[in-house]
Structure 1
């Protein structure tokens, strides 16, 4: 029961960064110490940044150093965590191997994906895990990338207990964007924000945190596709200005506009000096290259159904009564009704949102 609960925590953490590490998989890792409980919960945030296991060991070491009063090691570790992302991983590997061996001998590492075995932009996580020698490693699923797989066998050969078969379906679902990328060389995400009544046209819908997540996604994307109607009506910027570190708020993805009519991008004041590609049929869209985000309504979703790998719906817990299909004549049309989300459940494909009416 505890293994299931803690591995699910790691899966949930990884979902917070879903697609942001592409072309790498989203991975979560948790360290549990019997004496202290959860000592770290981390996720892989961006390609080139430390992997989830590295961060879990680093922040876990920081907590255990604090219990031991080793303030000098904490100061050193903090300095490494403030390095540029591309320098952090190797520096953390070296620091942990020099200063944290034996620290995790009673701990269990929970990781959504088996630790990688290859040396890419970062050192292999399986070697660090071997050096840290946790008592147990609980793994959600095997790595579908043949170059990086084999971590389970490596850990077992090192005498570390490995547990598999827990939350495997959920761990595999987490990998879906990565699997698409591995098989096809690209990933296509359709994103739509709407209110609980299905209204996606009445002004700004998403809250700030959702906007930031969307802009973080844009900052690592290659292309954004919108409809001509959206481009003309909303005058969107389609940039990454709200992205937060470690994501690049100055990144501007390529923009493609699907429209049957004649349209000049310069009608949008944000595109007077920024290029945008006009496409008159789905076949001319660049949906088979890199990370492609499609932003629009249900009409665009239906049109591009065959060119979409995943759909992300951001549902705001509110609605305008005058936007309802059958609004009451007694409704106050200028009042925004906000509900409180308590829980979500899944019913064979349907998602039920349980709201509290304040």
Structure 2
């Protein structure tokens, strides 16, 4: 290939497949590829990855996990020189949200706290998290199926819970509460194209979806047995506020990330 830049949208699957298919024949014939999930054998909104790898005629394909989705599997059967099961345990941990989502809701509880574990502050206009962390949260809200929030949080904080920092549509809301005594004039209830439900029936968590939970200590205690992962945004601040999550739970750390000045801590509850 020449050193000339290729202009195409690398996030557009159609463009990426077209670019790779137009490379010289056997360009990748001495290459090996390692993939977490079995290449899809299904043609949907994006082309079949199994079909693409078959065309590229790779030397070896290493697959960690077979695709659990009916109709998408059997991509490996189209390929030559395939090894399945390499690093399977690590791969399952990596894509755990995806695997859970095939059968029921993947539930993520989001927390923002100071470095001394407080969940409220008088600094920065009351915001614990940095602007970059707030943007990160809004990106997740945009793609979640539903945002689950505690009734007491709505009554005390009068939150908006939108995606204004990325100018995207606000998520649908489920307020977990036995009582309907809310001020319906707050912004949360008055955003266009948003559905707000109130109740204490969590059966919707039995359906495949991505649900983010935002709430206080009471909410965490009430649904701790429903939570898959916890995401903590820890800020480089100290707060003299007494509010915190007073709950006894063992956690397993999954990943630490730096988000501007904040630290993102991904973890999961370890069952007793």
TM range (shorter): 0.7 to 0.9
Q: Secondary structure at the match of 1:140?
A: strand
Is residue 194 from structure 1 mapped to residue 118 from structure 2 by the alignment? Answer: no
Residue of structure 2 aligned with 1:291, choices 190, 193, 210: 210
Q: Secondary structure at the match of 1:177?
A: helix
Q: Secondary structure at the match of 1:112?
A: strand
Is residue 115 from structure 1 mapped to residue 39 from structure 2 by the alignment? Answer: yes
Q: For residue 125 of structure 1, report the CA deviation from its aligned partner.
A: 0.2
TM-score, reference length from structure 2:
0.75
Greater fraction helix:
1
Contact 1:112/1:171 (<8 A) preserved: yes
Q: For residue 148 of structure 1, report the CA deviation from its aligned partner.
A: 1.6
Q: For residue 100 of structure 1, report the CA deviation from its aligned partner.
A: 4.6
1:316 corresponds to which residue?
Answer: 234
Q: Secondary structure at the match of 1:99?
A: coil
Residue of structure 1 aligned with 2:162, choices 214, 239, 251: 239
Query: Quick one: distance in 2 between partners of 1:349 and 1:230?
Result: 26
Gap runs ≥5 in structure 1: 1-64, 244-248, 326-338, 351-358
Query: Quick one: distance in 2 between partners of 1:265 and 1:324?
Result: 26
1:104 corresponds to which residue?
Answer: 28
Determine which structure has greater relative contact order: mean sequence separation of CA pairs < 8 Å that are 6+ residues apart, divided by chain length.
2
Residue of structure 2 aligned with 1:253, choices 168, 171, 175: 171
Q: For residue 109 of structure 1, report the CA deviation from its aligned partner.
A: 1.8
Residue of structure 2 aligned with 1:180, choices 100, 109, 116: 100
Contact 1:239/1:251 (<8 A) preserved: yes
Q: For residue 129 of structure 1, report the CA deviation from its aligned partner.
A: 0.9
- C-alpha deviations, 1:97-120, integer Å up to 9, x for none? 123542223333222112111112
1:214 corresponds to which residue?
Answer: 137
TM-score, reference length from structure 1:
0.59
Gap runs ≥5 in structure 2: 244-260
Aligned residues between the structures: 246
Query: Quick one: distance in 2 between partners of 1:140 and 1:242?
Result: 37
Query: Quick one: distance in 2 between partners of 1:183 and 1:340?
Result: 33
1:154 corresponds to which residue?
Answer: 78
